[in-house]
Structure 1
Amino acid sequence: MANAATAELTRVRRRTAVAVGIGNFMEWFDFAVYGFFATTLGALYFPNDNAAISLLSSLAAFGVAFFMRPVGGFVLGSIGDRFGRRFALTLTVGMMGVTTTIVGLLPTYEQAGIIAPILLVLMRCLQGFSAGGEWTGSSAFLIEYVDAGRRGLFGSIISATAALATIAGSLIALGLNSWLTEAAFDSWGWRVPFLLAAPLGLIGLYIRLKIDETPVFQEIKEQKAVVANPLLTGSRDNFRAIVLTFFFASVQGLGFYYLATYVVTYLTTTVALQRTHALALVAAGLSFYALMCPVAGAVSDRFGRRPINVLGSLGLAVLVFPAFLLMSTGNSALVFLGIAVFAICQSMVSVTTVVMLTELFPAQTRGSGSALGFNLGLALIGGPGPFVAAAIATASDVRAMPAIYMVAVALAGFLVVLRWLPETRGRDLGMDAEAPRIGGRLRA
């Protein structure tokens, strides 16, 4: 009987992991694909005689979505704490699918004038609102299902599927650039990946409606312990955890968007590689990153979240500038090596971030607290990263100089987590569990 119950629990966990991974893939494919078409969108929606200004305008529209992420985090995190993790995740994938599809249908500046970029920015804001509840919501949903000894390994699904979604976007961009003439691409080809959001969103919505609520939230409901105002309560009771999350989330978010979005722009505009060549190299690098995520997760299950996150943050601070030096050569092997060095450090930071977003916060305010710290970090530090990096590249003659922003943020994050990050591995995630003490290690 016990063996049957264990087998059923294993099946439920695997089904949940698959459902969360597929839904997360759909969400981040929609959100990230904009970055691969930043140059084209800059020319179509922000036309200017200076190509650099058009690109910066397009990247600014990319970054503005991140300023809506805290708002989405406030609302969707609170919804997750009050009405359930599954309900909040269903909202995020539905909203992302609709808004991304609309981007694919928008008229260009030439067709509609100033209303075109206004509508584009509005859709990016709604995408940011949706994304504000996705990463933390998916993390909580998945980690609350998993036994303590495998949270890192299972949590790596969130990081890996985000990378795979970006790879899918880059391969579609690569295919369109290869198969279509420049005129056809600028006319309608760029719309294809955005319009794919419609069927992908429906798939993600269906899958999330088929999974059950997490055992932790079911316990909260059964005990009638749902917090009436989780955002206010969580902000007051988890202030230190929110501040700490802001720092390690800033490093994680900035690293991911450098790796997944800016590197393509960097290789095409600064290093002057052909776009198809640059997309292929980034896809290969992101594939390596996706493979490294479960490795980093398993290692964090063995040695703890704290040492892996600290080491990854230090690696980003020390190795990103040399990685950009390698990429700046334009040599394919060295470009890939530079991306791979970046990816190893990023996988360590990313996977531990996924798990700590759940392990650092009490069950009743987990969605609100983690979403607040995480999305503020991405809005203020991570989201503007591609824009800041492109601006640095425009202003400097040193090809590797865009790495400086990443180095500075990673160094600040390293110093904070080294001093204040507790060890959360093995922590009980139930509603009566004691919260970890920020500034000291929590014994597993």
Structure 2
Amino acid sequence: MANVTRTSSPGQGTPPRRRSTARALVGGTIGNFVEWFDWSVYGFFAVYFADQFFPGGNAVLSTLLVFAISFFMRPVGAAVLGTYADRHGRKHGMTLTILLMAGGSLVIGIAPTYDQVGWLAPAVLVLGRLLQGFSTGGEFGTSASFLVEWAKPGRKAFAGSFQQVSVVLGILLASLSATVLTRVLDDAQLESWGWRIPFLIGSVIGLVGLYIRRQIDEPDAFRSLDRATQAASSPLGDMARGHRRGAALVFGISIAGSVITYMWLTYLPTYATLTAGADRADGQLANTIALAVFAVLIPLAALLSDRFGRRPTMLVYAALFVVLPFPLMQLLGSSFTSILVVSVIGVAVLSLNHANLATVFAELFPPQVRTIGIAVPYAVSNAVFGGTAPSVMQFFGDRDVLWVVPLYVSICALVTGFTIWKMPETRDVDTSATGRTA
């Protein structure tokens, strides 16, 4: 944790700097929490609200295609909001992104159905998802820059890892919502109105996050940059001209992470149902437990990264996901135990990636172009690979060739592993330096 001071004596309360740091940690992570809560809720509940917006036999696939389309707004949001954050500050950028996120959740939560307004209904759904995609495009780069710039030397991965902890907690809350609602409400209630509940919850959390972010301070790295009038006048152009290698590394590293995250944290219960006849409720419960384990493992893996470096820990992750998907999918059966074992093994390996993401990306760029440098290639990679993952897996599932899914995961891990191999070790990079880093 960055810049934490000890209380000098009991009863004096928390020192202002410590309060500021704690507020910065919450403020820097809550946007990712909202983003991934909404992202996962959409995946968990698509089967219930698909017919509300797309009448016909391909309703679920159409709903997942809307999911994919929204990812292609991420690069646009990354370019616009990332530029804004590099010019005007991380705080202002994060305040804007979470306001847009809350608005997108609200639009989906109150969207009319096809029976009520005809084809206007899917148009409203698309609007809500595009709004979320736009805001999400700017969220990752801004919050990654903010958290790592707040961290003290030797603990940057640990501080940055909480961005990914917030991602997991967002998915965990979505999974818990799905677990509770599927057990409390019947299918008819879920299809009629129950699916709206988590989207409305997401909009409320977003407004709470907006309040928190308005109270935080800019990190010293950006404030020093601003005082020295060194803020880039054209961050996107400067990144494209001087930091193409760093952008390529962010793109390549993100490929496997986006696909594996969807596979292990959202789709695995469905995969177990389709391939082994597992009970959907058992799969959901196993997924929820694995997510809780994941949230604990990420900061522990970050300590390994701070001790041994970014490249070694991330290479282990990529190598294991090249070889593990097929045997793990063979191990996956209809029992709750088998789903839980496969889920926990997957998240244990994945923690080596998530522990590093925010930090290693931030360390690849100087502060003048840090947000845009992270945001744009990350958003493009997630649009191409993460946004299409649900549709790709649904496509193979519909054709009863699900053996292609683990092969797809392994190939993505191989590409990312090669990228990590070519990446410089960044553990000792000074993230306040204003020169060229990668």
Assess same fold via TM > 0.5.
yes
Taking structure 1 as reference, are residues 4 and 353 closer, same or farther at Cα in structure 2, changes over 3 Å only? closer
Please state whether the residue corresponding to 2:355 is helix, strand or coil.
Answer: helix
Partner of 2:51: 43
Taking structure 1 as reference, are residues 401 and 4 closer, same or farther at Cα in structure 2, changes over 3 Å only? closer
Does structure 2 conserve the Cα–Cα contact (< 8 Å) formed by 1:31 and 1:96?
no
1:39 Cα deviation after fit: 1.1
Whichever residue aligns with residue 365 of structure 1, its letter is: V
Partner of 2:29: 21
Please state whether the residue corresponding to 2:150 is helix, strand or coil.
Answer: coil
Whichever residue aligns with residue 79 of structure 1, its letter is: Y
Establish whether residue 201 from structure 1 lines up as the match of residue 206 from structure 2: yes
1:306 Cα deviation after fit: 0.8
Partner of 2:376: 372
Does structure 1 conserve the Cα–Cα contact (< 8 Å) formed by 2:290 and 2:344?
yes
What TM-score results when the alignment is normalised by the length of structure 1?
Answer: 0.92
Establish whether residue 393 from structure 1 lines up as the match of residue 397 from structure 2: yes
Taking structure 1 as reference, are residues 147 and 423 closer, same or farther at Cα in structure 2, changes over 3 Å only? same
Taking structure 1 as reference, are residues 57 and 271 closer, same or farther at Cα in structure 2, changes over 3 Å only? farther
1:371 Cα deviation after fit: 0.7
Deviations 1:200-240 (A, max 9, x none): 11110001111001111101110011111100111111001
CA RMSD of the aligned region, Å? 2.0
Q: Distance in 2 between matches of 1:346 and 1:427?
A: 24
Partner of 1:442: none
Q: Distance in 2 between matches of 1:276 and 1:336?
A: 12
Partner of 2:132: 127
Please state whether the residue corresponding to 1:39 is helix, strand or coil.
Answer: helix
Partner of 2:406: 403
Q: Which moved more, 1:93-102 or 1:423-432?
A: 423-432
Please state whether the residue corresponding to 2:56 is helix, strand or coil.
Answer: coil
Q: Distance in 2 between matches of 1:138 and 1:130?
A: 12
Q: Distance in 2 between matches of 1:71 and 1:167?
A: 28
1:28 Cα deviation after fit: 2.3
Equivalent position to 1:286, from 277, 288, 291: 291
Q: Distance in 2 between matches of 1:143 and 1:162?
A: 16
Equivalent position to 1:338, from 331, 336, 342: 342
1:268 Cα deviation after fit: 4.0
Does structure 2 conserve the Cα–Cα contact (< 8 Å) formed by 1:323 and 1:339?
no
Establish whether residue 183 from structure 1 lines up as the match of residue 191 from structure 2: no
Partner of 1:440: none
1:127 Cα deviation after fit: 0.7
1:312 Cα deviation after fit: 0.7
Equivalent position to 2:427, from 420, 425, 430: 425
1:333 Cα deviation after fit: 1.0
Does structure 2 conserve the Cα–Cα contact (< 8 Å) formed by 1:148 and 1:425?
no
Taking structure 1 as reference, are residues 3 and 313 closer, same or farther at Cα in structure 2, changes over 3 Å only? closer
Name structure 2 gaps, 5 residues minimum: 9-14
Q: Which moved more, 1:352-361 or 1:401-410?
A: 401-410
Does structure 2 conserve the Cα–Cα contact (< 8 Å) formed by 1:23 and 1:208?
no
Equivalent position to 1:362, from 345, 359, 366: 366
1:368 Cα deviation after fit: 0.7
Taking structure 1 as reference, are residues 5 and 287 closer, same or farther at Cα in structure 2, changes over 3 Å only? closer
Does structure 2 conserve the Cα–Cα contact (< 8 Å) formed by 1:27 and 1:97?
no
Establish whether residue 257 from structure 1 lines up as the match of residue 265 from structure 2: no
Deviations 1:36-77 (A, max 9, x none): 11211223222323xxx3322222111111111111110111
Whichever residue aligns with residue 41 of structure 2, its letter is: V
Please state whether the residue corresponding to 1:402 is helix, strand or coil.
Answer: helix
What TM-score results when the alignment is normalised by the length of structure 2?
Answer: 0.93
Establish whether residue 33 from structure 1 lines up as the match of residue 41 from structure 2: yes
Equivalent position to 1:155, from 157, 160, 163: 160
Tell me how many residue pairs correspond in the alignment.
429
Whichever residue aligns with residue 24 of structure 2, its letter is: T
Deviations 1:114-164 (A, max 9, x none): 221122122111111111111221111011000121111111211111111
Q: Distance in 2 between matches of 1:177 and 1:5?
A: 46
1:221-260 correspondence runs (5 A): 221-260=226-265
Partner of 2:11: none
Q: Distance in 2 between matches of 1:106 and 1:18?
A: 30
Name structure 1 gaps, 5 residues minimum: 437-444
Deviations 1:402-425 (A, max 9, x none): 22211111111112221x110000
1:319 Cα deviation after fit: 1.0
Does structure 1 conserve the Cα–Cα contact (< 8 Å) formed by 2:174 and 2:198?
yes
Whichever residue aligns with residue 364 of structure 2, its letter is: L
Partner of 1:316: 321
Does structure 2 conserve the Cα–Cα contact (< 8 Å) formed by 1:325 and 1:400?
no
Q: Which moved more, 1:310-319 or 1:273-282?
A: 273-282
1:169 Cα deviation after fit: 0.8
Q: Distance in 1 between matches of 2:49 and 2:189?
A: 14
Taking structure 1 as reference, are residues 324 and 109 closer, same or farther at Cα in structure 2, changes over 3 Å only? farther
Does structure 1 conserve the Cα–Cα contact (< 8 Å) formed by 2:20 and 2:217?
no
Q: Distance in 1 between matches of 2:403 and 2:52?
A: 29
Does structure 1 conserve the Cα–Cα contact (< 8 Å) formed by 2:48 and 2:187?
no
Q: Distance in 2 between matches of 1:192 and 1:14?
A: 30
1:4 Cα deviation after fit: 7.6
Whichever residue aligns with residue 115 of structure 1, its letter is: L
